[in-house]
Structure 1
Amino acid sequence: MNRPLNHDLLYTFITVIDTGSFTAAAKRLNSTQSTVSQQILRLESAVGQRLLEREHHHVRPTEAGEQLQGYARKILRLNAEAVSVLSGHALSETLRLGLPEDFASSVATPMLASFMRENPRVRLEVTSGLSRDLKRAYDLGEFDLVLVKQPPGVEGTTMHWPEPLCWIDSASYPVVDLDPLPLVAFPADGLYRRDMTDALDSQGRQWQIVYTSSSLASVQQAVAAGMGVSLLPRRTVISGHRILSDGSGLPVPAPMEVAIHYPRGASSLTRRVASMLADLVEHGQ
């Protein structure tokens, strides 16, 4: 018979993934780096698989670690719920949401805060990040609902809306005429990055990426400061930007969409929050 996985080891494993390093995990756990490393080794021994890979100063899960991560989060969540029930402080439901940064940091925040005030027994766990990471985590069962950016036609989409894109340059320090064209982009495989480079390659236009960030605010500010042009949703344009028209010579952006994913048989609470997010998206179109 297989022995049950140790709860403390699973908690340490998830903490390392969430913080991105053994050092940061040790600080959060009020432990030492060597103790954290030993606990991960014990967990790897228990499952017979290598779970984490070190890359420079960052730690990421292996394929086996990705598989275990979803189960570990479920086990920890069920444990917390059991403790709440037995202590008489149970919440009616926990809802795990994944949102792109531009939604999580602006339009969605007031709505979610109001929802929490109106539903004090519901616990929201909101995570913001890149759409590809959110969708991957959703597929692993780590979210109940995600709102993501994606190409049209992705299977399993519950609701979707067009997301108009535009090329943007600095209003004060334009660089669109430089050769090679400087680009401000999200990390490799991030949304819009490949759309930019593939479109420019199809034109034979020379380009170079001069600034990379996973933060929308950083990308916006880098463009406004004149570091390079970028391809972003039209609704994220700020006062320091100039939208480049078709006459700029840049290729027409490929269509994108905003989409909501939640599983069949989702709770009424999940559907209610999905409806509220849908209203936000439609209002912003």
Structure 2
Amino acid sequence: MTAGAKSNTALFDLDLLRAIVVVADCGSFTTAATRLHSTQSTISQKVRRLEDMVGHRLLVRGNRDVLPTDAGQTLLGYARHMLALNDQMLEALAGAMVGTTVRLGVPEDFVGGRTTNALSAFSRQHPQVKLEVTSGLCRDLSQAYDNGELDLMLLKQRRGTREGIASWPERLQWIDSARQPAFELDPVPLVTFPPRGLYREDMINAIESTGRRWRISFTSSSLSGIQAAVADGMGISLLPPRAATADHQILGAGQGLPAIDSYEIVIVHRSAADAMVKALAGVLQQLLAGGSL
């Protein structure tokens, strides 16, 4: 066959193939028309068009239903395969529609609870968006953002360090073990994040301002590590109220400890951020404004 002959080869219309498959499955033009939200005459016309294309009778009426001829059986096998391939292609292309990725960074103590619920709801509302969430120390999140590895971040920082699209004061409180308090020990043991970690220098300066001696008894880059060390009597620490658990007791003015109010929570993204980045920032802003985080 020449190239010119190939270009004139008839192409089967998937709509026609679907019609004959449904008629064969239902055994009735009338039932098939109902299932395809069409009319019986339209379905009959589609079958006749197929028969004209192939030059064979494809369906015959039996005593009670419509049955495929031998040629019809052959065509139906190929038709089902072609329709299945069409559905698979649509599924593959639907997956390829995930064209937007939003990379979010959040501090470890914001992971879970209302934050995770809100992110899950955002993903369901925007299924075309691939959401990648990174949690960790704020200094690491900030560096990742500066390196272009994050599109959006929720950041705890000293007030005014970095400009954000919105900010809220970050309340802090002193915590000790509920079972094995360590505050009265001398020197007072401190459970802290690593050097340059949040609150570390503030804790040391605050304890020194009371005239107490101190020592670093436990250091961890993990929030859960800090929480567990305090709960087990390793020392006192400084954390947001949302990070305190039933294994902790709250310290404060009654123990001569000063309040620390020099921190804030900011939402940060670039001015040229994608619309979905801004939409997710709006979700976080609503949570923070409502005091839910």
TM-score normalised by structure 2 residue count: 0.64
* Alignment partners' CA distance in 1, 2:132 and 2:226: 26
CA contact (8 A) 1:131 1:148 kept: yes
Identity %: 49
CA contact (8 A) 2:252 2:258 kept: no
CA contact (8 A) 1:195 1:254 kept: no
Is 1:273 aligned to residue 283 of structure 2?
Answer: no
Is 1:207 aligned to residue 214 of structure 2?
Answer: yes
CA-to-aligned-CA distance 1:34-53 (integer Å, 9 cap, x gap): xxxxxxxxxxxxxxxxxxxx
Aligned match of 2:112: 105
Aligned match of 2:50: none
Task: Report the RMSD for the aligned CA atoms in angstroms.
Answer: 2.0
Aligned match of 1:91: 98
What secondary structure sits across from 2:215 in the alignment?
strand
Q: Which amino acid aligns with 2:208?
A: D
Aligned match of 2:267: 260
* Alignment partners' CA distance in 2, 1:88 and 1:236: 38
CA-to-aligned-CA distance 1:44-97 (integer Å, 9 cap, x gap): xxxxxxxxxxxxxxxxxxxxxxxxxxxxxxxxxxxxxxxxx9998142311010
User: Map of 1:118-157 to 2, 5 A cutoff?
Assistant: 118-157=125-164
Aligned match of 1:163: 170
Q: 2:190 aligns with which of 183, 189, 199?
A: 183
CA contact (8 A) 2:109 2:242 kept: no
| Offset, 1:102 | 1.0
* Alignment partners' CA distance in 2, 1:195 and 1:254: 10
* Alignment partners' CA distance in 2, 1:252 and 1:111: 31
Aligned residues: 201
Is 1:282 aligned to residue 283 of structure 2?
Answer: no
Structure number with bigger Rg: 2
Q: Tell me which stretches of 4 or more aligned residues in structure 1 moved more than 6 Å.
A: 85-88
Aligned match of 1:48: none
Q: 1:105 to 1:212 in 2, by over 3 A?
A: farther
Q: 1:152 to 1:201 in 2, by over 3 A?
A: same
* Alignment partners' CA distance in 2, 1:146 and 1:280: 14
Q: Which amino acid aligns with 1:228?
A: G
Q: 2:226 aligns with which of 194, 219, 228?
A: 219
Is there any run of 5+ residues in structure 1 with no aligned partner, and where? 1-84
Q: Which amino acid aligns with 2:259?
A: V
Q: Which amino acid aligns with 2:264?
A: E
Is there any run of 5+ residues in structure 2 with no aligned partner, and where? 1-91
Q: Which amino acid aligns with 1:109?
A: T
Q: Which amino acid aligns with 1:244?
A: L
CA contact (8 A) 2:171 2:261 kept: no
What secondary structure sits across from 2:258 in the alignment?
coil
Aligned match of 2:205: 198
Per mean C-alpha deviation after superposition, the further-off stretch among 94-103 and 272-281 is 272-281
* Alignment partners' CA distance in 2, 1:187 and 1:279: 32
* Alignment partners' CA distance in 2, 1:107 and 1:196: 29
CA-to-aligned-CA distance 1:215-234 (integer Å, 9 cap, x gap): 11221121112111000012
* Alignment partners' CA distance in 1, 2:93 and 2:259: 58
What secondary structure sits across from 1:167 in the alignment?
strand
What secondary structure sits across from 1:284 in the alignment?
coil
| Offset, 1:106 | 3.3
TM-score normalised by structure 1 residue count: 0.66
